[in-house]
């Protein structure tokens, strides 16, 4: 296999080697609105870029040391019997040989094309490989679905059974360049993110991100038929855009962007948003109380940052973001059953996800830090964030009329109670 040897400038700071593969969370992908200009100002717009379809599923990873293969979800390793998506172990059976083959192929490539020393462990050998991708499927109208499987994400139909969409390889020290990863995926027999376009950064950024998903056709499935699906476009979630040669921003984050269609966007233009059905269990007067508190702060000349943050929360807290948060935990039906009487934890997860995303913007971080210096102002912001998060969560559970959630007591700055046996879904300190 021939491919350009990755230059040391494309690698993040070297990490200490560990005994055997350890869990490594996949780097988050930023919205193109946030990072497109940074790509240009830091000089990453030069060179070739690639566009791939973004799959609406659940982040999944295969880890291997060359002899054993383990699965992982977004935030933790998986063990047999773990409550994730029912029957997820099928993926291990399907892909174990292919993952081991990918490890062997990368070993052979590094033997023929030695990478920079810092790309390998101290003994100069490859000891770990991470195959990142998306678990998808579980429903396709007109085709039978195994009773042990469930639709991974609603809204897009890919396949009646689970499958794995590979999109990145990581050797323990950095992500592989696209061309090398593609050759390994092809040779090892993976279903992977093929290039929809290769070109300049501007060409890839301008590539239409609203189109019918390509996956069913690639998998050999027939078009959707029947009166119910007449005119149904089965749109892709969007696109992922990245340089062919892997690169990193000066802050250490990876250069990779996503463009989602409005239907699945997690940052919403309030002017385009449809009226939201109010949670019938939400406290009456939340909005009125916020107005009164802002009016009081205005008298003190300190409401500008608070008002700005509260307005931005309206854009960042929504049902689409909740769907993404739930998918990181597992099967929607199982999550609904498991957390029905622990909804404060899900409110905390949604609030934290929205806040983390918002604070990636320097202006938001500066305003939030300023607000955090005053306890009263911070309480207003926290209460507003929790109130907004409680609404989609309540609709997710469809709680009985006498079931209420005290949003004032859900604090995004303190750990929430355990959501799973592994204690992985907690709200950490900001």
Q: What is the DSSP string of 248-313?
A: B-TTS-B--EEEE-GGG-SS--GGGPPPPPPPTTSPTTHHHHHHHHHHHHHHTT--HHHHHHHHHH
Q: What is the pLDDT along the chain (430 residues), one digit of tens a residue?
A: 444 444 433 444 334 334 457 889 898 887 776 788 899 999 999 999 999 999 999 899 999 999 999 999 988 899 888 877 777 888 899 999 999 999 999 999 999 998 887 777 777 789 999 999 999 999 899 898 887 777 888 889 999 999 999 999 999 999 999 999 999 999 999 999 999 999 999 999 999 999 999 999 999 999 888 778 878 889 999 999 999 999 999 988 899 999 999 888 888 875 555 544 444 444 435 556 666 666 565 555 457 888 899 889 999 999 889 988 887 777 666 677 777 767 888 999 999 999 998 998 889 999 999 999 988 889 989 999 999 999 899 888 874 444 443 333 344 443 333 333 323 333 333 4
The C-alpha atoms of residue 249 and residue 283 are separated, in whole angstroms, by 43
Is residue 401 within 8 A of residue 280, CB to CB? The reply is: yes
Q: Could you tell me whether strands 257-260 and 30-31 are parallel, antiparallel, or unpaired per DSSP bridges?
A: parallel
Distance CA 357, CA 363 (A): 12
> Within a 10 A sphere around the Cβ of 186, how many other Cβ atoms?
12
From the list 83, 68, 43, 75, the residue with the least C-alpha distance to 129 is 68
Phi, psi of 135 (to 5 degrees): -80, 125
Non-local (6+) Cβ contacts of 106 within 8 A are: 126, 129, 169, 171, 176, 184
Range list of H helices, 300-404: 304-316, 319-329, 332-338, 343-358, 362-372, 375-397
Cα dist from 422 to 75, 190, 417, 418, whole Å: 10, 30, 12, 8
pLDDT value of position 407: 37
pLDDT of residue 98: 98
Interatomic CA distance for residues 94 and 26, integer angstroms: 22
Taken in order 337, 341, 347, 353, the sign of the CA dihedral is: negative
Give the model's pLDDT for residue 231. 80
Give, for 35, the enclosing helix (H) or strand (E).
helix 32-41
Torsions phi, psi for 111 (to 5 deg)? -70, -40
For the 30-264 domain, the top CATH level (class) is: alpha beta
Give the pLDDT score at 296. Answer: 61
| Kind and range of the H or E run holding 31 | strand 30-31
172/393 Cα distance (integer angstroms): 37
User: Where in the chain is CATH 3.30.470.30?
Assistant: 30-264
**What is the predicted pLDDT for the residue at 426?**
30
Q: What is the pLDDT of residue 408?
A: 36
Q: What is the DSSP letter of 77?
A: B
Nearest one of 203, 259, 356, 251 to 41, comparing CA atoms: 251
Q: Which residues contact 344 (CB under 8 A, 6 or more apart)?
A: 405, 406, 409, 410, 416, 417
User: What's the CA dihedral at 196, 202, 205, 211 to 10 degrees?
Assistant: -50
pLDDT (0 to 100) of residue 293: 62
Burial of 163 (0-12, 13-18, 19+ CB in 10 A): buried
């Amino acid at each position: 296999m021939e491919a350009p040897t990755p230059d040391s400038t494309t690698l993040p700071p070297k990490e200490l080697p560990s005994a055997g593969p350890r869990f490594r969370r996949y780097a988050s992908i930023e919205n193109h609105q946030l990072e497109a200009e940074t790509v240009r100002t830091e000089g990453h717009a030069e060179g070739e870029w690639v566009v791939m379809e973004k799959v609406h599923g659940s982040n999944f990873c295969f880890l291997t040391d060359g002899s054993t293969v383990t699965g992982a979800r977004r935030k933790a390793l998986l063990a047999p019997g773990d409550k994730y998506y029912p029957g997820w172990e099928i993926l291990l059976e399907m892909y174990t040989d292919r993952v081991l083959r990918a490890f062997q192929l990368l070993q052979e490539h590094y033997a023929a094309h030695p990478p920079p020393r810092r790309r390998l462990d101290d003994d100069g050998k490859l000891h770990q490989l991470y195959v990142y991708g998306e678990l998808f499927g579980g429903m396709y109208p007109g085709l039978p679905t195994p009773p042990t499987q469930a639709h991974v994400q609603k809204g897009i139909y890919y396949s009646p059974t689970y499958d794995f969409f590979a999109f990145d390889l990581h050797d323990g020290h950095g992500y592989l360049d696209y061309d090398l990863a593609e050759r390994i995926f092809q040779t090892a027999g993976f279903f992977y993110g093929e290039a929809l376009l290769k070109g300049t950064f501007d060409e890839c950024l301008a590539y239409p991100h609203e189109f019918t998903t390509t996956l069913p056709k690639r998998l050999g499935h027939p078009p959707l038929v029947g009166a119910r699906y007449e005119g149904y476009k089965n749109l892709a979630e969007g696109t992922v855009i990245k340089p062919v040669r892997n690169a990193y921003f000066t802050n250490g984050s990876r250069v990779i962007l996503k463009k989602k269609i409005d239907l699945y966007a997690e940052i919403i233009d309030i002017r385009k948003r449809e009226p939201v059905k109010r949670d019938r269990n939400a406290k009456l007067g939340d909005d009125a109380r916020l107005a009164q508190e802002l009016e009081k702060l205005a008298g003190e000349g300190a409401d500008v940052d608070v008002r700005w943050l509260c307005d931005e929360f309206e854009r960042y807290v929504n049902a689409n973001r909740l769907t993404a948060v739930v998918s990181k935990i597992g099967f929607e039906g199982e999550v609904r059953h498991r957390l029905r009487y622990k909804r404060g934890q899900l409110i905390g997860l949604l609030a934290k996800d929205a806040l983390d995303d918002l604070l990636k913007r320097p202006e938001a971080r500066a305003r939030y830090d300023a607000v955090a210096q005053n306890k009263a102002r911070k309480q207003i912001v926290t209460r507003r964030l929790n109130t907004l998060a409680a609404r989609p969560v309540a609709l997710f559970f469809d709680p009985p009329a006498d079931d209420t959630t005290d949003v004032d007591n859900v604090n995004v700055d303190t750990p929430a109670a355990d959501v799973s046996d592994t204690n992985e879904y907690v709200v950490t300190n900001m």
